[in-house]
Amino acid sequence: MDTHYLTYILTIAKKENMTKAAEELFVSQSTLSQYLSKLESELGTPLFYRSKGRLTLTPAGSLYIEAAEKVMSIKNVLYQNIQNIENRGHITVGVTSQFGLTMLTDIIPAFKVQYPDIIIEISETNLPGLTRLISEESIDCGIMAINEIPPFSPEQVTILREEEVLFSIPVNHPYRKKNPDRPIPIGEFAKSFGEENILLSKKGSTLRRLTDMVLENAGWIPSTVCETNSISTTRSMVAMGIGVTFISDSCAADREHVAYYHVEPKLTRLNALVTRKNWIQSQASQCFCNAIRNYFN
C-alpha cells in the first residue's frame, strides 16, 4: 500500500510552506510543487490558499487532510495486525556507519531465536539517503551517526550514545616518538601533519563534517587528499603509511599498525536510532528497537 504521496500533502499542511515541507521530506521544491499542482488539477479545486509564502487549507484541503490521516491510520493498523499474525513480519532497517552493522550483528541472532519468522532487511547508505528514506516512510528505522539532532519529531529519535572521534596515524610515524599518547590540540595539526596525505570520508558523512571543521579551525590545507567511503579501506591505508585520517572510536581497530589520538578539544558525534513517523510497531518490532536502544547500556 503506497501512501507516501499522502505524506507530501500532510507535510505541506503541517509546515504551511512549500520550502519547509520540501526540506523535511528531502525532496526538491519543484517536485513537491508539481505533485500538488497535478493533484489539484485532478480534483478540480485547490487544496491550499497561497498568500505571501504561506499555504493554508481550503475547505477541500481540510477534507483531503482528514481523509489522508484516516488512510494512514488504517494502513498502520492493518500492517500491525498482519505482522502480529503468528509473529510474522518484515522489518527494514538502514545503517550509515560501521557501528550500526556491528550492533545488528550482535542483536539479530538473539532476536531471531525469539522471532524466527521475522525477516530483517538491512540497507547501508549515507546519512542524507537514510534520512530521506525515513521521511518518505520507505524504511522502518535507521541506525545513524549524526553531528546534530535530525529534523524529525522527538518521539522518532533516540540518542544511543555520544561517540568520540579520534585522529589516526601509522604506528611508525615520526610524530609518535615525540608524542606517544598526549591529545593533539587542533592548532597543532597544520604544523605537525601539513605535508601528510589526508584521507577523507565522502561529503555528507559525519566524519567528513568533523574533518572539514578541524581543517578550517587549524588553518590546515593538506598537500594531498584522498576520498573513500570505506572505513576499513581508510584504516588499512593508514596502517600502510599512505595517509592520516579521523576515525570513530567504534572503528578504531588494528592498533598494532595504527595509532589513535584524542583531539583537543574533544571531537564527538552522536549515534541514534530514528524510526519512521507512522510506524505502529508489532510486539516483534518493539523488541527489536528496544534491543537497539539498550545496546550500549
Q: Which three cell numbers stand for residue 213?
A: 571543521
Query: Which three-class secondary structure state does DSSP give residue 88?
Result: coil
Measured distance CA(225)–CA(251) in Å, rounded: 21
Amino acid at 206: T
pLDDT of residue 79: 74
pLDDT of residue 203: 84
88 φ, ψ to 5°? -100, 150
Q: Pseudo-torsion of CA 97, 134, 13, 63, nearest 10°?
A: -170
pLDDT of residue 88: 59
Q: Which three cell numbers stand for residue 107?
A: 542483536
pTM value is 0.72
Query: Which three-class secondary structure state does DSSP give residue 172?
Result: coil
Measured distance CA(132)–CA(126) in Å, rounded: 10
pLDDT in tens, the chain (297 residues): 667 789 899 999 999 999 999 888 888 899 999 999 999 999 999 999 998 889 999 999 999 999 999 998 888 778 767 766 555 578 999 999 889 999 999 999 999 999 998 999 999 998 988 998 998 888 999 999 999 988 888 999 999 999 999 999 999 999 999 899 899 999 999 999 999 999 998 888 899 999 999 999 999 988 788 888 788 899 999 999 999 999 999 999 999 999 999 999 999 999 999 999 888 788 889 999 999 999 998
User: Cα(first)–Cα(last) distance of the chain, in Å?
Assistant: 37
Could you tell me how many helices (H) and strands (E) the chain has, helices first? Answer: 11, 13
Of 108, 89, 100, 106, the C-alpha closest to 142 is 100
pLDDT of residue 289: 97
Cα-based angle 188, 208, 222 (whole degrees, multiple of 5) = 45
Measured distance CA(154)–CA(179) in Å, rounded: 43
- Beta-strand ranges (E) seen in the chain are 48-51, 54-57, 89-95, 118-124, 141-146, 157-170, 184-185, 197-200, 224-227, 245-248, 258-261, 263-264, 267-275
Contact in structure between 215 and 193 (CB atoms under 8 Å): no
Rg (CA), the chain: 23
Say which residue the cell 544511543 belongs to: 160
